[in-house]
Amino acid sequence: MNELGFILSIMPELLQGAVTSVLVAMVAIALGVVLGITVCQMRRSQLWALRRAAGLYISFLRGIPVLVILFLLFYLPSAVNVEVPSLLVAVLALSLNTSAFQAEIYRGGFNSIPVGQIEAAKALGLSRVRILTRIQLPQVLSLTGPELVNEFIILFKNSSLISVIGVTELMRHSEQLVSTTYKPVEVYLAAAIIYLALCLIISRLGERLKGNH
Amino acid sequence: MDALTMYLQHWQTFLIQNGPDFAAALWVTIRISLVAIICGMTLGFAAELGRRICPWLRKPVACYVEFFRGTPLLIQLYLLYYGGPRIGLVLDAEPAGMLGMSLYAAAYFCEIFRAGFESIPEGQREAAHCLGIRPWRRLWRIELPQMAQIVLPPAVNQIITLIKDSAVLSIITVAELTKTATRIMNISFEIVMPLCLLALLYWIISEAVAVVCNKAEARLTRHLTR
């Protein structure tokens, strides 16, 4: 019972860290959506060079671990004596990683829209941008909704890695608590409960989103 | 041109000096990933099969899967590393990493196998039962061959994800690729070369696994659908 009391007593401090984790994940996923759609458009472009560049981008960022992307963005600028704030590095690394996975998700979405719709829109004289924003994107985003929620959960869990470069999110807060209380098991268990609860909430919200369509 | 030759020479000396270390670390990464893939698949399959055979196993397996899929690998490793000794499980970094990765992988493979089992129409089971086919024979001859097509693509994805996730083990000081690269960074004061080599190696492994698995998958499914 003593342990339970301890876990409850550290919850407020851990939840503070969880707020940072959630915020970072939300900004990263939003950036990832924009980047992902852009890369996906490049991948579907008529130009060979753009297609090839997007293909390399996707294959490289999907092929290396998040931790390595994090290290690349954290240490490479320091090789040319540029200092980048670690929070910015964290957000960028997570969004680069998710954008490559999202680009592939969107590709499936775009491919599932019947060609006839686009031809009809062109025949009606709609501009390319209008076709994309008014016809394709709404359908693609609602089609790929469940996969995006999944991607958000993965991203949220990956956000635990940014503690390595010193961002004080949930994981880092736990590590600091461990160094003052010497109770690693209780602290990490408490953090695990928070991660688990938040992941469950995200997936429930996602299910509700799916139910609405 | 002179600067370029000098830079290339710099790379050459770096590779000669640190190549063996990188090769050793690559082997650690591969070894841990292989253990995680094989043990994770076996355990995941056993858990899914157990869940289907014994109803009372349903809840514990669901909790297991939910926990390992809902928390970051890093926290699972910390819990194992610090919590293990409390229940008499004192492990070195690498065995702890292997155990942690296997438990983590099992949860994902369990879900993949579940999707596979669910893809088989209930009628087939009933038909096999009526024909007097034993459950084990039904599993081997009827269910597993059909499941392969459903299970293979996500399994390949999961294998690649696991290899990349093994980078997290560097945090609990397992001397795999990422750990070795950062260690070399610290002792040689080189930044660009170890990092680029690190990223390149992971990229090559991921692409190679994807190519090999897709070839194998195409072959197997062609054989199965024939």
pTM score, whole prediction: 0.91
Amino acid at B150: I
Q: Do B168 and A161 touch (CB under 8 A)?
A: yes
Burial class from Cβ neighbours inside 10 Å (0-12, 13-18, 19+) for residue B178 reads buried
CA distances from A94 to A203, B23, B107, B151 (A): 19, 28, 24, 28
Q: Do A63 and B202 touch (CB under 8 A)?
A: yes
pLDDT at A211: 66
- Does the structure show a pLDDT above 70 at A212? no
**Which residues have C-beta within 8 Å of that of residue A182, sequence separation ≥ 6?**
none
Q: What's the gap in Å between the CA of A163 and the closest CA on chain B?
A: 10
Q: Please enumerate residues of B whose Cβ is less than 8 A from a Cβ of A.
A: 66-67, 69-76, 78-79, 82-83, 86, 164-168, 170-171, 178, 181-182, 185, 191-192, 195, 198-199, 202-203, 205-207
pLDDT confidence band for A213 (50 / 70 / 90): low
- Does the structure show a pLDDT above 60 at B226? no
Q: What is the complex's ipTM, to 2 decimals?
A: 0.90
